[in-house]
Chain A
Amino acid sequence: MATGIKDKVAILGMGCSKFGERWDAGSPELMKESFEEALADAGIQRNQIEAAWFGCWGDGINVGNSSIPAAMALRLEGIPVSRVENMCATGTEALRGAAYAVASGAVDIALAIGSEKLKDTGFGGLPPPFKGTFNDLWLPMSSAPAGFAQLAPYYRAKYGTSKEDLKRAISHVSWKSHQNGVHSPKAHFQKAVTMETIMNAPMISDPLGLFDCSGVSDGSACAIVTTPQIARALGKTDLVTIKALQLSTSSGRETQTNDWDGSYVATTRNAAARAYKEAGIDDPKTQISLTEVHDCFSITELVTMEDLGLSEDGRAVFDILDGKFDRDGALPCQIDGGLKCFGHPIGASGLRMAYEVYSQLLGRAGQRQLRNPSVGLTHNLGGVPYQGVAAISILGLH
Chain B
Amino acid sequence: MTELGIARFGAYVPRLRIDRAVIAEAHKWMAPGLRGQAKGSRAFTSWDEDVITMAVEAARDALGAADASGVKAVRLASTSLPYADLLNAAIVSRAIGAPADVASSDAAGSQRAGTSALLQALKGSEPTLVIGSDNPSAKPASIQELSFGAGAAALLVSDVDIVARLVGSATVNDVFVDHFRAAGAETDYLWEERWVREQGYARIVPAAVNAALADAQLAIGDIQHFVMPSYLKGAADAVAKALKFTGSVSSGLEDGVGYAGAAHALLILAATLEAAAPGDHILLIGFGQGADALIFQVTPAIAAAKPARGVSGAMADALATDSYLRLLSFYDGIDAEWGMRSERSGKTALTEQYRSRDQMDSFNAGKCGDCGTVQFPQLQYCVRCHAPSEAFEQLSLRDTPATVLTSTADWLSFHLSPPLWVGFVEFENGARVLMEMVDIGESGIDTGTPLRMVYRIKEKDRQRGYNRYFWKSTPLIAA
* Interface positions of A (Cβ within 8 A of B): 121-123, 125, 127-128, 133-134, 136-143, 145-146, 149-154, 157, 203-206, 251-253, 255-259, 262, 386
Residue of A nearest to B444 (CB): A206
Q: Given contacts A128-B341, A153-B407, is CB(A138)–CB(B412) below 8 Å?
A: no
**B356 touching A205 by the CB < 8 A rule?**
no
A140 to B356, CA, bound (A): 17
Query: Are B408 and A150 in contact (CB-based, < 8 A)?
Result: yes
Pull 8 A–B residue pairs with CB atoms less than 8 Å apart, ordered by A. A136-B459, A137-B356, A137-B470, A146-B410, A146-B412, A150-B407, A154-B406, A257-B384
Mask, B422-448, CB within 8 Å of A = 1, is 111010001111111000000000110
What are the interface flags for B388-410 relative to A under an 8 Å C-beta threshold, 1 for contact and 0 otherwise? Answer: 00000000000000000111111
Segment among B150-158, B165-173, B371-379 that sits at the interface with chain A: B371-379
- The one of A142, A203, A253 in contact with B384, judged by C-beta atoms closer than 8 angstroms, is A253
Q: Which residue of B lies closest to A122 (CB)?
A: B340
Q: Mark each residue of chain B from 210 to 235: 1 if its CB lies under 8 Å from any CB of chain A, else 0.
A: 00000000000000000000000000
* Beta-carbon contact of B360 and A125 below 8 Å: no
A157 to B413, CA, bound (A): 26
B471 proximity list for chain A (CB < 8 A):
138
Q: Kindly list chain B residues whose C-beta atoms are within 8 Å of the C-beta of A125.
A: 341, 412
**Is B244 an interface position by the 8 A CB rule?**
no
Among A121, A123, A205, A386, the residue within 8 A (CB) of B409 is: A205
Q: Is B35 an interface residue (CB 8 A)?
A: no
A142 to B420, Cβ gap below 8 A? yes
Residue in B359, B413, B426 whose beta carbon sits within 8 Å of that of A141 in the complex = B413
Bound Cα distance A122, B426 (Å):
38
Shortest A150–chain B CB gap in Å is 4
Q: Is the CB of B432 within 8 A of A256?
A: yes
Contact at A142–B406, with CB atoms within 8 Å?
no
In the complex the two chains form, what is the Cα distance from A138 to B375 in whole Å?
A: 14
Report the bound CA distance from A253 to B373 in whole Å: 11
Is B309 interfacial (CB 8 A cutoff)? Answer: no
- Which single member of B348, B409, B447 contacts A136 (CB below 8 Å)? B348
- Chain B contact residues, CB within 8 Å of chain A: 339-341, 344, 348-349, 352-353, 356, 359-360, 373, 375-377, 379, 383-384, 405-415, 419-420, 422-424, 426, 430-436, 446-447, 458-459, 468, 470-471
- Would you call A143 and B340 a contact (CB within 8 A)? no
Distance in Å from the Cβ of A27 to the closest Cβ of chain B?
20
Q: How far, in whole Å, are A256 and B431 apart by their CA atoms in the complex?
A: 6
With A128-B414, A150-B423, A153-B446 as given contacts, are A140 and B436 in contact (CB-CB < 8 Å)?
A: yes
A138-B383 in contact given A146-B422, A258-B432 (Cβ < 8 Å):
no
Contact B434 A140 (CB under 8 A): yes
Residues in B with CB closer than 8 Å to A157 are 447
Shortest distance in angstroms between B445's beta carbon and chain A's nearest beta carbon?
10
A142-B422 CB under 8 A given contacts A128-B413, A134-B356, A137-B348? yes
B346 to chain A, nearest CB (A): 9
Query: Could you tell me if A133 and B352 are in contact, using CB atoms closer than 8 angstroms?
Result: yes
**Using Cβ atoms and an 8 Å threshold, which residues of chain A touch B356?**
134, 137
- Excluding A141-B415, A142-B422, 20 further A-B contacts by CB distance (< 8 Å) are A121-B340, A128-B344, A134-B356, A136-B349, A136-B468, A139-B434, A140-B436, A141-B459, A142-B408, A142-B410, A150-B406, A150-B408, A153-B406, A153-B446, A203-B411, A204-B412, A251-B383, A252-B383, A258-B430, A262-B406
